[in-house]
Structure 1
Amino acid sequence: MSSNEFSLQSLICTEAFADPAFVFDGTPVSRAEFSANIEKTAAWLAAQGVGKGDVVAVWLVNRIEWVALLFAAARLGAIVSAVNTRYRSAEVAHLLRLSGARLMVVEAAFRSIDFAAILADIAKDEVPALRQLAVVGADTIPAHWPCVRFDAFDQPYPPAPPAQDDVDLPVLLYTTSGTTKGPKLVAHSQRTLAAHAAAVARALSLAPQNHSLLAMLPFCGTFGMTSLLGFIAAGATIHVLDAFEAAPALKILGEHEITHAFGSDEMFRRILALTDVAQPFPRAEVFGFAAFQPGWRELAAEAEARGMPLYGLYGSSEVQALFSIGRASDAFADRIEGGGWPMSPEARVRVRDTETGELAAPGVSGEIEISAPSRFLGYFNNPDATRDAITADGFFRTGDIGRLRGDGSFVYETRAGDAMRLGGFLVAPGEIEDELKSCAGVADAQVVAVDLKGNARCVAFVIPAGEPPQQEMLVAHLRERLAGYKVPARIYIVDAFPVTDSANGVKIQRARLRAMAMERIAAE
């Protein structure tokens, strides 16, 4: 294959495609209009002085400008740094500083988000590389930096220089959900993005006239971007929500007989809750979901009964979302598990025993390691972190715990930081949480490991359903059902779990739960 077959531009050169390519808020955008928008945006970026290697931060909700900016940056050899619309000043400043972005394209306003007020909290000397803001939807916003209007589609600019053909340079930076040191920037090239998009289209057997996507995840995260690019590669129509809301999602899924959607368990739960129709999604084929909340197995069973076929999947910013997914031929219980079958036939998954450092046999839990065409280039401007993350033979150390099934598929169990070594065994918290949720009076449960008098023990947090359950009753139930080392040393009743919003969904802050457990035990 020639290198330009791995360009983003190659994704829109497919011979068979549906028109419109996109529908944004009811407005269709044809394949020809999209191509014209890319050329206009490339000309506009070049007129702002953006060229090879320059970083443009994009702080937008899901709109056609976002997609055009990515393809146009690729055309110029420039780099897009994706900014989560949920970020606030400290996070935005960290990303701008780390990326060295010289231009930021920003919303004038969106619903309750005051972009100008967030930027006002950032001092100019915190982000020395930033030169100007380009505002979508207004001429200017109050800011420390000069503003121009993002008018790429409206005004003629001199044509952009000839397209850059190096598909292995960075083109897109995602933020990882960070540690205390702040998020890292995950760099992808046109080759990693385009090859994976084509692999997704092939693995899902997508056909332009038969399939359509509801894009309801933010483009700033790999979950939203990968599904978008996969359906662009397939030439299928993509219906886009600027930001997720259950009511418009339900309306589009039903009215347009959408076949594919991807989201978190919570998004699908909210959509289902809004309709009493027995089978509301007549054309649904694959609704891929990431399980971020407890109770996802029950949700999947209810969804299945109502004709919403949920599929477990796996991905990360480093190997991209939709890295793998369950298959229709899998048993239901296997199909809904995180993990599944890699989309790319060239991908390799192995599991390393975290105790011995040896590769683990099928069925044995350990850290998942991945080699694949979708693997990132490295962490942007962070060679030390990149070196730590990649093995000598080129596998990415995911920091996730899972096991191989022995048939080419694998199971994702938990984050390595969340896996608990109890009684000498590696235990996924979900196993204990599921047992707790089967108890009367328990609406939800989370389990974390703590050091209790030199021994690793687990502590449970329970959200009650109605009258709070008695700790003794819960412990007695668990003792009957689980090995002794899995029975929590303490069970605390709480009103809610601490959560964080990421670009790919709402996630429970397990580190905060561990700190809460230690505080409560210390206070006894």
Structure 2
Amino acid sequence: MSADDFSLESLIHTEAAEPAFVFGGTQVSRAEFTAKVEQTAAWLAAQDIGQGDVVAVWLVNRVEWITLLFAAARRGAIVAAVNTRYRSAEVAHLLRLSGAKLMVVEAAFRSIDFAAILADIAGDEVPALQKLAVVGADAIPAQWPCVRFDAFERSYPPVPPAQDEIDLPVLLYTTSGTTKGPKLVAHTQRTLATHAASVAKALKLDPQRHSLLAMLPFCGTFGMTSLLGFIAAGATVHVLDAFEAAPAVKILGEQNITHAFGSDEMFRRILALTDVPRPFPHLEVCGFAAFQPGWRELAAEAEARGLPLFGLYGSSEVQALFSIAREGDAFADRIEGGGWPMSPDAQVRVRDTETGELAAQGVSGEIEIRAPSRFLGYFNNPDATRDAITADGFFRTGDIGRLRGDGAFVYETRAGDAMRLGGFLVAPGEIEDELKSCAGVADAQVVAVDLKGQARCVAFVIPHQEPPHQEALVARLRERLAGYKVPARIYVVDAFPVTDSANGVKIQRARLRTMALERIAAE
């Protein structure tokens, strides 16, 4: 088997009869997509992007996003995926950490003011960034030079594909664990293409019969992995530029969609928009991640209405759709997170967090994974990479689960302090650092609580002298952070509850969560 068999380009079957993508009703065939990739590779070369150069992609779901990834692979370059919900502090962190020399950015999308967000980033914060390429306009107001992304509008001199690049970084996802700022998870063409082929095979995708509604953002592994799996299968992908329930319902019904992947909240909103008892008879698999309370009740309602939910598991490090439940599983098992690994070569084990020994089936502990889908490492962070991978090559997920004994496993909860907010994993320290940079705040702690059925964060701050105004803090955080990271409440305290231990003084985060719930209840 040659290296070409593990390239992203190997996933495109130009002979497939069905269109590769449908964007807003406009079809893009595989031959057309291949031509767009070649045009984009030539455009990247004209921008002086070559082997090892990083291009930050800050776009909604559009064909340019996908062509940039495949074109970067042809050039030996690297794409750093930027979440469109990010604001200035998060964008600056990613640009600085990745060393991106070019950013491809939307001119405008709905209420997102990309220019205003970039205006809040000082040039010396991101010294490697040289220019912006704007999709949909010639330029946006910015301190960096702007060019138009015009790869599809004019011809650039063609360039030959790079050779032997399949084991070098090609895509960087952001991820947060217990560290303060997000790390960058590096994947290669081999890890992406191999896993995409495993997904297509495990789901038994038939290009003539199956189709995907891509309603998750391409900037995350959940959206990207499902997209690549269907590309590998030669099946059609209907794309939403960003999730909204109404257009999702329309496409699911009119296009006879068979597969969709998303959060429990997405499927809850879809069901709420239709009174039809069984509105989507063609749906076969709805893979869902449970982020909100009440997901079991949702799964039962969805089942009764012919919307079959399947629990799954994944992470940026081992890719989304690492595993999924099977149709033959009992309903109670089918809706649990975890399931059966997509790749027959994947290995899952559980380590007892108390003894450090491998746990027997049915015993909860930290999930460890070795698989072809495993990441190359954390970009420019060898220490974090070394800490995350065992001597025998297993990734320490930081997730708690148990082996079922039949080849499947169950995901139970996240270990440590990381919070799941808005469907994303967020480190408390990321929000705490922003709070501590605000005037009047000496120290801060952030915890997650269930607030009206949604996971929200609550902050406790110790003031410098005069207590800061909550409204001013919230306004500042909204400028700097994605909306789902902005605390629902900010409480001023004199001190944090702590415990003295042999390893030093530790914040009682469980006590902070209790305090948050008590104060909210008192309101």
- Distance in 2, Cα, partners of 1:80 & 1:166: 14
Question: SS state of the match for residue 286, structure 2?
Answer: strand
Q: Evaluate the alpha carbon distance shift between residue 414 and residue 514 of structure 1 in structure 2; reply closer, same or farther with a 3 A threshold.
A: farther
- Distance in 2, Cα, partners of 1:96 & 1:515: 33
How far 1:418 sits from its partner (Å)? 6.2
Is the Cα–Cα contact under 8 Å of residues 72 and 78 in structure 2 kept in the other structure? yes
- Distance in 2, Cα, partners of 1:462 & 1:167: 45
Aligned pair count reads 450
- Distance in 1, Cα, partners of 2:34 & 2:104: 20
- Distance in 1, Cα, partners of 2:267 & 2:483: 12
Query: Match of 1:153, as an amino acid?
Result: F
* Range moving further from structure 2, 513-522 or 289-298: 513-522
How far 1:517 sits from its partner (Å)? 2.6
Query: Match of 1:343, as an amino acid?
Result: M
Query: Match of 1:351, as an amino acid?
Result: V
How far 1:3 sits from its partner (Å)? 1.2
1:4-83 paired onto structure 2 within 5 Å: 4-13=4-13, 17-83=16-82
How far 1:197 sits from its partner (Å)? 0.1
- Distance in 2, Cα, partners of 1:206 & 1:71: 22
Structure 2 unaligned segments of length 5 or more: list them: 419-447, 454-477, 489-507
Aligned partner (choices 492, 512, 515) of residue 512 of structure 2: 515
How far 1:207 sits from its partner (Å)? 0.7
- Distance in 1, Cα, partners of 2:145 & 2:302: 50
Question: SS state of the match for residue 90, structure 2?
Answer: helix
Q: Evaluate the alpha carbon distance shift between residue 92 and residue 35 of structure 1 in structure 2; reply closer, same or farther with a 3 A threshold.
A: same
Deviations 1:359-403 (A, max 9, x none): 000000000000000000000000000000000000000000000
- Distance in 2, Cα, partners of 1:261 & 1:293: 18
Is the Cα–Cα contact under 8 Å of residues 449 and 517 in structure 2 kept in the other structure? no
| 2:161 aligned partner | 162
| 2:297 aligned partner | 298
Question: SS state of the match for residue 140, structure 1?
Answer: coil
- Distance in 2, Cα, partners of 1:105 & 1:89: 16
| 1:173 aligned partner | 172
How far 1:97 sits from its partner (Å)? 0.2
- Distance in 2, Cα, partners of 1:234 & 1:461: 39
| 2:375 aligned partner | 376
- Distance in 2, Cα, partners of 1:460 & 1:146: 43
Amino-acid identity (%):
82
Deviations 1:162-187 (A, max 9, x none): 33332000000000035452100000
Query: Match of 2:145, as an amino acid?
Result: P
| 1:436 aligned partner | none
Question: SS state of the match for residue 91, structure 1?
Answer: helix
How far 1:522 sits from its partner (Å)? 11
- Distance in 2, Cα, partners of 1:340 & 1:288: 11
Question: SS state of the match for residue 398, structure 1?
Answer: strand
Could you state the TM-score of these two structures normalised by the residue count of structure 1?
0.82
| 1:363 aligned partner | 362
Deviations 1:90-145 (A, max 9, x none): 00000000000000000000000000000000011100000000000000000010
- Distance in 2, Cα, partners of 1:505 & 1:122: 18
Question: SS state of the match for residue 361, structure 2?
Answer: coil
Q: Evaluate the alpha carbon distance shift between residue 364 and residue 508 of structure 1 in structure 2; reply closer, same or farther with a 3 A threshold.
A: farther
Query: Match of 1:127, as an amino acid?
Result: V
- Distance in 1, Cα, partners of 2:519 & 2:70: 54
Query: Match of 1:517, as an amino acid?
Result: T
Deviations 1:5-62 (A, max 9, x none): 00000000375x2421100011111111100000000000000000000000000000
1:250-269 paired onto structure 2 within 5 Å: 250-269=249-268
Deviations 1:277-314 (A, max 9, x none): 01111111000000000100100010000000000000
Query: Match of 2:187, as an amino acid?
Result: H
1:313-352 paired onto structure 2 within 5 Å: 313-352=312-351
| 2:416 aligned partner | 417
Deviations 1:214-248 (A, max 9, x none): 00000000000000000000000000000000000
Is the Cα–Cα contact under 8 Å of residues 292 and 505 in structure 1 kept in the other structure? no
| 2:122 aligned partner | 123
How far 1:514 sits from its partner (Å)? 5.9
Question: SS state of the match for residue 291, structure 2?
Answer: coil
| 1:273 aligned partner | 272
How far 1:160 sits from its partner (Å)? 1.5
Q: Evaluate the alpha carbon distance shift between residue 520 and residue 74 of structure 1 in structure 2; reply closer, same or farther with a 3 A threshold.
A: closer
Q: Evaluate the alpha carbon distance shift between residue 367 and residue 22 of structure 1 in structure 2; reply closer, same or farther with a 3 A threshold.
A: same
- Distance in 1, Cα, partners of 2:396 & 2:278: 41
Query: Match of 2:61, as an amino acid?
Result: N
- Distance in 2, Cα, partners of 1:161 & 1:57: 22
- Distance in 1, Cα, partners of 2:487 & 2:205: 36
Q: Evaluate the alpha carbon distance shift between residue 63 and residue 519 of structure 1 in structure 2; reply closer, same or farther with a 3 A threshold.
A: closer
How far 1:254 sits from its partner (Å)? 0.3
Matched, 1:197 2:196: yes
Is the Cα–Cα contact under 8 Å of residues 14 and 234 in structure 1 kept in the other structure? no
Matched, 1:235 2:234: yes
Question: SS state of the match for residue 373, structure 1?
Answer: coil
Is the Cα–Cα contact under 8 Å of residues 62 and 218 in structure 1 kept in the other structure? yes
Q: Evaluate the alpha carbon distance shift between residue 27 and residue 512 of structure 1 in structure 2; reply closer, same or farther with a 3 A threshold.
A: farther
Is the Cα–Cα contact under 8 Å of residues 173 and 221 in structure 2 kept in the other structure? yes
Question: SS state of the match for residue 397, structure 2?
Answer: strand
- Distance in 2, Cα, partners of 1:53 & 1:461: 43
Question: SS state of the match for residue 384, structure 2?
Answer: helix
Question: SS state of the match for residue 207, structure 1?
Answer: coil
- Distance in 2, Cα, partners of 1:508 & 1:298: 28
- Distance in 2, Cα, partners of 1:506 & 1:210: 37
- Distance in 1, Cα, partners of 2:150 & 2:201: 36
Question: SS state of the match for residue 134, structure 1?
Answer: strand
| 1:134 aligned partner | 133
- Distance in 1, Cα, partners of 2:483 & 2:342: 22
Query: Match of 2:70, as an amino acid?
Result: F
Is the Cα–Cα contact under 8 Å of residues 264 and 505 in structure 1 kept in the other structure? no
| 1:214 aligned partner | 213
Q: Evaluate the alpha carbon distance shift between residue 266 and residue 149 of structure 1 in structure 2; reply closer, same or farther with a 3 A threshold.
A: same
* Range moving further from structure 2, 511-520 or 232-241: 511-520
How far 1:516 sits from its partner (Å)? 4.4
Query: Match of 2:403, as an amino acid?
Result: L
Is the Cα–Cα contact under 8 Å of residues 85 and 483 in structure 2 kept in the other structure? no
How far 1:521 sits from its partner (Å)? 7.6
Could you state the TM-score of these two structures normalised by the residue count of structure 2?
0.82
Is the Cα–Cα contact under 8 Å of residues 14 and 30 in structure 2 kept in the other structure? no
CA RMSD in angstroms, aligned pairs only: 2.7
Question: SS state of the match for residue 66, structure 1?
Answer: helix
Question: SS state of the match for residue 121, structure 2?
Answer: coil
